């Protein structure tokens, strides 16, 4: 039977894309060409519609970027949970591998974006809970929050600098990473 949403008797236009497809296209464009490559026209072309059609599914470009950022936050959470058994050093290495695999998405999480594009911070906190659990065990419940902030700040800063090439002027980046996490674990022990 015909849908009640049909216009006077005809068939409604079938959907030619979906939010999921749009977000996937946006992520792919972002990773391959940086933020400048993530244009509404490029996304539309990749999913087989014209740019104005995207506005049926996303409010605007900033909102699309935010959706991409939040998908990336969930991915990061998956990686951290998968590494939780390996302790704080294991999670730090998983974080680093994640940033290497999705550098553009990584910068969406921790970079500087217009208010509208920023991922929900409560969700970020939720996805990084494995770190909080590890620091609670290490530093004790009173200092778990400060310790988690110290570790996440270090990991985040290290990856920003590494991806920006700021560590390319000598020395081993891997050594510096292992040195850092070892010193932090040692220092945070209660």
Partner DNA sequence: ACCTGAACACCGTTCAAGT
List residues binding a second copy (CB under 8 A).
34-36, 103-104, 107, 110-112, 114, 118, 121-122, 124-125, 143, 145-147, 149-150, 152-158, 160-161, 163-171, 175-176, 179-180, 183-184, 186-188
**Which tokens sit at 55?**
């506005």
* CB nearer to a second copy: pick between 21 and 110: 110
Minimum Å distance from CB 17 to DNA?
5
Note the residue count of the chain. 190
Instruction: Answer with the entry of DNA, a second copy, none that 49 interacts with (C-beta below 5 to 8 A by kind).
Output: DNA
* CB nearer to DNA: pick between 39 and 156: 39
Instruction: Answer with the entry of DNA, a second copy, none that 52 interacts with (C-beta below 5 to 8 A by kind).
Output: DNA
CA distance 65 to 23: 9
Residues 32-71 that bind DNA (CB under 7 A): 38-42, 49-53, 55-56, 60-62
Instruction: Answer with the entry of a second copy, DNA, none that 40 interacts with (C-beta below 5 to 8 A by kind).
Output: DNA
Instruction: Answer with the entry of DNA, a second copy, none that 2 interacts with (C-beta below 5 to 8 A by kind).
Output: none
């Amino acid at each position: 039977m015909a849908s009640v949403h049909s216009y006077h008797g005809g068939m409604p236009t079938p959907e030619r894309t979906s939010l999921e497809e749009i977000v996937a296209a946006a992520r792919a464009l972002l990773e391959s060409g940086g933020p400048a490559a993530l244009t509404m026209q490029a996304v539309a072309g990749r999913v087989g519609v014209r740019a104005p059609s995207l506005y049926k599914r996303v409010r605007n470009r900033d909102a699309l970027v935010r959706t991409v950022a939040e998908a990336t936050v969930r991915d990061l959470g998956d990686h951290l949970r998968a590494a939780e058994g390996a302790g704080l050093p294991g999670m730090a290495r998983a974080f680093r591998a994640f940033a290497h695999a999705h550098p553009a998405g990584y910068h969406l999480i921790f970079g500087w974006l217009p208010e509208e594009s920023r991922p929900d911070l409560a969700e970020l906190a939720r996805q990084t809970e494995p770190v909080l659990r590890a620091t609670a065990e290490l530093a004790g419940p009173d200092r778990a929050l400060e310790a988690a902030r110290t570790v996440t700040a270090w990991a985040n800063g290290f990856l920003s600098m590494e991806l920006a090439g700021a560590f390319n002027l000598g020395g081993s980046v891997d050594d510096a990473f292992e040195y850092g996490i070892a010193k932090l674990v040692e220092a945070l022990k209660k």
